[in-house]
């Protein structure tokens, strides 16, 4: 790559290094926390924003602390891989391919390829695009029709906008997961995650929660941040600069504040799956420390 500014871009998804986020970390004092309190804070944080809507979370009666979102993916794949093929769409989070090497696993690009013997993991916003997957509604409608269980990945919820998810309409969504790693950089290594499910899931996550083996320090930190910063905070804080940077570097804007995209072949090394689409992380340019 010849551009002098390309070193400021990242291929991965790194959170914005904010001095306000860092300062709040120093104010944390560990407080004893239980799962009920943790889940109440997560529920409020997920639904409180003005820039996105999550309908029907109350139908997900079961909740657990998780080590980020990855622990949810591990258990979803383990639970379904004995009887179903694990399926993701082209450009999805690469972790799924890594942990599915010993399972029946497929990467597809069209909902017409979905079959009733599959289980789907789907990110919203979509990992490679920073916006909805273009077939989002059709994917979930097809999964409804074919009774395909879906795990929704909301890892970008705290850095996203213009998202509306109706869990009542999409009964195929059996579980959803989110974490605070992307909105708050100091929490990346603390693994502050959650899983909500419609039905009781008798697996490793539920067992660890039931016997009190959660990371209570991380849970306390998560509450500390969710009470201070809304799920809209990153867009409110960095949105104007994001718009300016995308225009300056001629990137297509997305609904995820750390990502711009390009179709310019100069950025082909940023390709993650979808042909001709190059997702570029600009969090370095948004950071103030």
pLDDT in tens, 7-24: 889 999 999 999 999 999
Confidence (pLDDT) at 88: 98
Rounded CA-CA distance 234/49 in Å is 11
What's the start-to-end Cα distance of the chain, in Å? 26
Confidence (pLDDT) at 3: 58
Quick one: DSSP state of residue 7?
A: G
* Residue 289: burial class (beta carbons within 10 Å; 0-12, 13-18, 19+): exposed
Confidence (pLDDT) at 7: 82
Rounded CA-CA distance 89/64 in Å is 26
Confidence (pLDDT) at 4: 63
What percentage of residues in the chain have a pLDDT greater than 90?
Answer: 96
259-262 and 252-253 strand pairing: antiparallel
Question: Is 76 within 8 Å of 83 (Cβ atoms)?
Answer: no
Report the DSSP beta bridge partners of residue 271.
278
pLDDT in tens, 231-280: 999 999 999 999 999 999 999 999 999 999 999 999 999 999 999 999 99
Provide the mean pLDDT of the chain. Answer: 96
Rounded CA-CA distance 23/9 in Å is 25
Name the packing angle between helices 35-47 and 216-228 (round to 10°): 30
The token pair at 69 is: 């979102």
Name the packing angle between helices 19-26 and 216-228 (round to 10°): 130
Q: What structural domains and CATH numbers belong to the chain? A: 6-19+232-286 (no CATH), 31-228 (3.40.640.10)
Residue 221 scores a pLDDT above 80: yes
Rounded CA-CA distance 286/248 in Å is 13
The token pair at 118 is: 């599959």
Question: Is 287 within 8 Å of 143 (Cβ atoms)?
Answer: no
3-class DSSP string for 180-235:
CCCCCHHHHHHCEEEEEECCCCCCHHHHHHHCCCCCHHHHHHHHHHHHHCCCCHHH
pLDDT in tens, 100-132: 999 999 999 999 999 999 999 999 999 999 999
């Amino acid at each position: 790559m010849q551009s002098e500014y390309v070193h400021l871009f990242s291929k991965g998804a790194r959170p914005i290094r904010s001095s306000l986020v860092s300062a709040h970390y120093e104010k944390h004092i560990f407080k004893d926390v239980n799962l009920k309190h943790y889940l109440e804070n997560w529920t409020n944080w997920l639904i409180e924003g003005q820039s996105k809507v999550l309908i029907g979370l109350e139908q997900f009666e079961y909740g657990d602390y998780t080590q980020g979102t990855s622990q949810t993916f591990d258990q979803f794949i383990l639970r379904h891989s004995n009887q179903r093929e694990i399926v993701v769409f082209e450009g999805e989070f690469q972790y799924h391919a890594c942990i599915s090497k010993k399972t029946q696993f497929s990467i597809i690009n069209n909902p017409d390829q979905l079959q009733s013997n599959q289980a789907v993991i789907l990110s919203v916003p979509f990992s490679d695009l920073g916006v909805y997957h273009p077939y989002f509604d059709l994917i979930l409608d097809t999964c409804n029709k074919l009774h395909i269980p879906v795990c929704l990945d909301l890892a970008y919820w705290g850095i996203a906008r213009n998202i509306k998810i109706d869990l009542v309409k999409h009964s195929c969504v059996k579980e959803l997961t989110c974490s605070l790693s992307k909105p708050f950089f100091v929490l990346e290594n603390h693994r502050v995650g959650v899983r909500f499910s419609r039905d009781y899931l008798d697996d490793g996550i539920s067992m660890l929660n039931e016997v009190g083996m959660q990371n209570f320090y991380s849970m306390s930190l998560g509450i500390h941040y969710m009470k201070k910063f809304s799920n809209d905070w990153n867009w409110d804080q960095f949105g104007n600069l994001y718009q300016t940077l995308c225009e300056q570097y001629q990137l297509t804007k997305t609904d995820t504040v750390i990502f711009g995209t390009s179709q310019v072949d100069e950025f082909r090394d940023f390709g993650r799956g979808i042909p001709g689409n190059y997702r570029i992380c600009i969090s370095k340019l948004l950071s103030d420390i």
